Copies of this chain bind each other. A is one copy, B any other.
Amino acid sequence: MTNITKRKRIMLTVAYDGTAYSGFQIQSHAPTIERELNRCLSELFKEEIRVTGGSRTDAGVHALCNVAVFDTSARMPAEKMSYALNQRLPEDIRIRKSEEVAEGFHPRHCDTRKTYEYRIISSSFPIPTKRLYAHYTYLPLDVDRMRRAAEWLVGEHDFKSFCSAGSQVETTVRTIYDLEVLQEQEEEILLRITGNGFLYNMVRIIAGTLIEVGRGRWEPEYIREILEAKNREKAGPTAPACGLMLVNYCYCSPSH
C-alpha cells in the first residue's frame, strides 16, 4: 500500500485590512498576516504549513491582492481552499482566490508589476470614517503641482533618495510605469503608482514628497534634484502607513 500523495504548490490572493497587524511578515509576539495564514492553513490541512509572501507590507498597510504561496499534499481541490480558509480567518483577512501553480514558482523571484494606491484627505477637519484608510492633512494641496512633480518620477531611475535606511538590496534602480494623481472627491486625493518593484518605504516617501510639493514648500522640478542626489535626506518625510494599499499584483511571465 503506497502512502505517497503528490504535493502541490498553491497560490493565494489575499486581501486584508492592515490596521490590527504588525505587517505581513511573521514576527514573534506580534499579530501578522503571515501568522494568521499559517495558523489557519495548518489547522485546515492538519500539517504544519508556512506560506511565502509576495509583498511584505509594513504594519498598518492594507492590501486588496497580495499573494502567498505554500505546498500541501491535501486532496482538497485548489479552487475550494479559499472558501474553507475564509471560514477560519478573522474578518479583516480574506482569500479572494486559491489556485495551483507550477512546482518551482516563487512569488518574489519573478517579474512582477505591482500597483499601490496612497490616499490623502486634505480638509479642515479629519473624516472619522476614513481615518484608518487615508492620511489626513489640514494643509491645502495643489493637485496640479503634484501632477507635474509626479512626471519626474515616471520611468527608470535610481530611487536611492526614496528608500529608507535598513534596506538591503543589490540595486536601487526601479521602473515606475505610471504615477497618477487623482482628485477623487473634493477633499480626497489618490496617488496610483505602478512599477516593477518598490524599495523599502518607497511609495510612502514618494507620497510624503508629493505632499511637500502640493503644499507649496517645493517646486515640482525639485524632484529631479532629489533623484540626482541619491540621498534619502533630500526627499520628503515617509507618509503614514494607513494611507497605503497594495491594489494589484501581477506576474508578467507565464511561469505558473
Contacts and interface: CB of A to CB of B under 8 A. Distances in A.
A133 interface: yes
A93 B128 CA distance: 6
What range describes how many residues of A lie at the interface?
20 to 34
A245 interface: yes
Q: Name the prevailing secondary structure of the A interface residues.
A: mixed
A135 B240 CA distance: 28
Interface string A1-37: 0000000000000011100000000000000000000
Interface in A82-138: 82, 86, 91-96, 124-129, 131, 133
Nearest to A17: B128
B94 A126 contact: yes
The 3 closest A-B pairs by CB, nearest first: A17-B128, A17-B129, A92-B128
Interface of A: 15-17, 62, 64, 82, 86, 91-96, 124-129, 131, 133, 245
